[in-house]
Amino acid sequence: MPGERLSQPDSRDCSSGKLQYDNDFWRFSLAVYGQDGVTEQCLALQEAVGVDINLLLFCAWTGARSFVLSREDIEAASNSVAAWQGHVVRPLRNVRQHIKTLEDNELESLRARVKSLEIEAEQIEQAILFAHWKGVQSSRTGTDCRRVISQNVKKYIEIKSGSQPLGSSEHSASHLIDAAVQISGAR
């Protein structure tokens, strides 16, 4: 997700206890991330406070299902993908971004292949989050979908921002929240 618009790679559905790559969360993320202003807002939050965009989308997706996340839920989800994010997704993003700075047209093919690998790695991260969510679902639900989405997203941003003030536009997720509400069909 970070840095580029998404296109859906080949759908894969692993069964028998393996990760399910093509799942509701992945399809929700593709739909939401492509909405006007969402990509830019997510990237701004990634840059400003270090959010993992997949976790930000996870918070919106669970909220769209009226599932209220606690701080502990968000931290557990973050822990479930921390190694994958740190050792695979982020390094691929760094390589892709570095190739882009070289401004060498001959490297564009390589950059495109790295981008494809990065998106595949993010799909795997989302499959890990999806599997994690299936294991921790509880009865903590809310009735106002917009409110639950907003609470989950803002809670994650607060966790990542620590003591930084949250009032600034760089800490806003209004486009993400609006898109998540629209995609989920809730009002």
Asked whether the beta carbons of 42 and 1 are under 8 A apart, the reply is yes
CA distance to 100, 109, 122, 153, per residue, from 97 (Å): 5, 14, 16, 26
Q: In 90-144, which residue ranges form alpha helices assigned H by DSSP?
A: 90-101, 108-136
Cut 0.95: pTM above it = no
What are the two backbone dihedrals, phi and then psi, of residue 35, each rounded to the nearest 5 degrees? Answer: -75, 150
What residue has token string 């609006």? Answer: 178
What residue has token string 């209004």? Answer: 174
C-alpha to C-alpha distance for 43 and 46, rounded to whole angstroms: 5
Q: Provide the pLDDT confidence category of residue 185 given band limits of 50, 70 and 90.
A: confident
Classify 173 as helix, strand or coil.
coil
Q: Provide the pLDDT confidence category of residue 162 given band limits of 50, 70 and 90.
A: confident
pLDDT(166) > 70: no
Tell me what pLDDT residue 164 has.
62
CA distance to 53, 60, 62, 88, 95, per residue, from 25 (Å): 13, 10, 9, 20, 26
